[in-house]
Amino acid sequence: MKKIAFILAILGFGLICLQQKSYAEKKIAHTEFSDMAIKECNSCHKSEGIAPNHNADFIRGHRVLASKTGNNCSQCHSQKMCLDCHQGGGTGDNLTQSNFGRDYKPKSHRSDFITIHPIKAQDNPQQCYRCHEAESFCNSCHSRFPKGSMRIKSHMMLGANGQRYTFAVGEHATEARRNLQSCQACHPEGDVCIQCHSSGKTRPHPRNWKSGNIKDRTNAKMCLKCHLPGTY
């Protein structure tokens, strides 16, 4: 069914292309307008039916505009515009922008972001990974903290250091399904997971688990972390 939908999508895309073969209406390059103030853009766009897109919603919404080939961002902006926020650079132009150490911070990282990031990261868990590599970035900080000093809800139930849960009482299964990324931040190798979730113990896989896909792509290296050869 999915394959059929995929083929239909391709065909539909092809049909649109053919239908538009006479493409007469070319888009206007914006390079010559790059020095204009944003409010002046309306002098053209007002009558063109183009939605204003450099407004207060830009930080949240620019991904849809920028994350595609053929975007026209480079007609006005250099890659510095992207990487100052996405990779922590800056030349001091924007006084409202603060630093985290030597790295400049995007405006979405407000006040004491280190402390509030567990809450902010819940607002669309994918957004952290637009700039940060999940495993290496989070762990480069989390690994330096002594075990027991992180306050995760499911880890606060039991144990002298508040870092132990039990199968019967603990909330870790629910928490992990909702926010597995946070587990990876402190346990990048998943060593604690394997203690209970390896072969013959509690099955961690989703219901529609396609084991062959991951086996083929990793030459079975992943499978062998929990299963004996020939048993998966």
Partner 1 sequence: MTLKRMFCLLTGLGMLLSTGIAWSAEVHGRSSTQYQWFTDYLTGNKQAEFGQYLNLSVTKIDPAGKLSFYGYGRGNQDILNGQGFNARLYFLYGDYSNLFDKVDIRVGRQFVNYAAGSALVDGGKIDLKNVGPVAFSIMGGRNVIFNLDGEASNDNDFVWGVAANLVGLKKTDAELSYFMKLDDAGIARDQVGGSFKQYLFNSLKIYANTRFDLTSEAFSEVLTGVKYYPNSDLVLTGEWYQSYPIFDNSSIYSVFAVNRYQEAVFRADYTINDKITVNAGYSKQFYGEDAEADVYGIGTQIRPIDKVQLNLNYDYRTGYGGKLNGGAVEIMYEPIKPLELAGGIHYDTYERDRATGRETARKYWLGSKYKLNKSMAASARVENNVNQQYKDDWAGRIAFNYDF
Residues of this chain, 56-95, that bind partner 1 according to CB under 8 A: 56-57, 61, 63-64, 66-71, 78-80, 82-83, 86-93, 95
Sequence-ordered list of residues with C-beta below 8 angstroms from that of 99, at least 6 positions apart, any chain: 90, 105
Considering Cα of 162, then 163, then 169, then 172, what sign does the dihedral take?
positive
Nearer to partner 1, 66 or 76 (CB): 66
CB of 231 vs partner 1, minimal distance in Å: 15
CB 134 within 8 A of CB 184: yes
Nearer to partner 1, 170 or 184 (CB): 184
Residues 3-62 that bind partner 1 (CB under 8 A): 9-10, 13, 16-18, 20-21, 23-27, 39, 42, 45-46, 48-52, 55-57, 61
186 binds partner 1 (CB under 8 A): no
Residue in 167, 166, 162 with CA at minimum distance from that of residue 147: 162
One residue of 147, 160, 213, 230 binding partner 1 per CB under 8 A: 213
- Number of Cβ within 10 Å of residue 200's Cβ equals 9
One residue of 106, 128, 153, 170 binding partner 1 per CB under 8 A: 153
* Amino acid present at 20: Q
Block residue for tokens 């649109």: 16
Residues 107-126 that bind partner 1 (CB under 8 A): 110-112, 114-116, 118-120, 122-126
DSSP 8-state code for residue 164: B
